[in-house]
Amino acid sequence: MQQFDNAFIFDHPLIQHKTSLLRDKNTSTKDFRELVSEISMLMAYEVTRDFELEDIEVETPICKCTTKVLSHKKKITLVPVLRAGLGMADGMLKILPQVRVGHIGLYRDN
């Protein structure tokens, strides 16, 4: 993945493969929705690469250990761009169920 200021270029082979399937005119509506969800999960994995972690102590079946979890210092809000972005929100929420979801309403004045 390449990152430029506030933009990401997803060049991962799985994303490219699934995007090709998504573009195929023979892809059913059901498969299209599933592919969008899968692609957005892969995108979530990539964009969260630099998220901050913090140490916590947990009790394992054997002993206590220190391990890492996502830091809660920054609140994350997912704001899908309507309408196509709504399909991507589900996949992102599967990976990041704790995030808030926002909506921006716009209309066209012709």
Instruction: Tell me how far apart the alpha carbons of residues 52 and 55 are, in angstroms, rounded to a whole number.
Output: 10
Tens of pLDDT, residue by residue, the chain (110 residues): 666 777 778 888 999 999 999 999 999 999 999 999 999 999 998 888 888 999 999 999 999 999 999 887 778 899 988 777 888 999 999 999 989 999 877 777 87
Separation CA 86–CA 78 (nearest Å): 10
Q: What is the pLDDT of residue 54?
A: 93
* Distance (Å, whole) CA 7 – CA 4: 5
pLDDT of residue 28: 96
Domains of the chain plus CATH, in order, are 2-101 (3.40.50.2020)
pLDDT of residue 71: 87
Q: What is the pLDDT of residue 17?
A: 96
SS (H, E, C) the chain: CEEECCEEECCCHHHHHHHHHHHCCCCCHHHHHHHHHHHHHHHHHHHCCCCCEEEEEEECCCCEEEEEEECCCCCCEECCCCCHHHHHHHHHHHHCCCCEECCCCCCCCC
What pLDDT score does 83 carry? Answer: 72
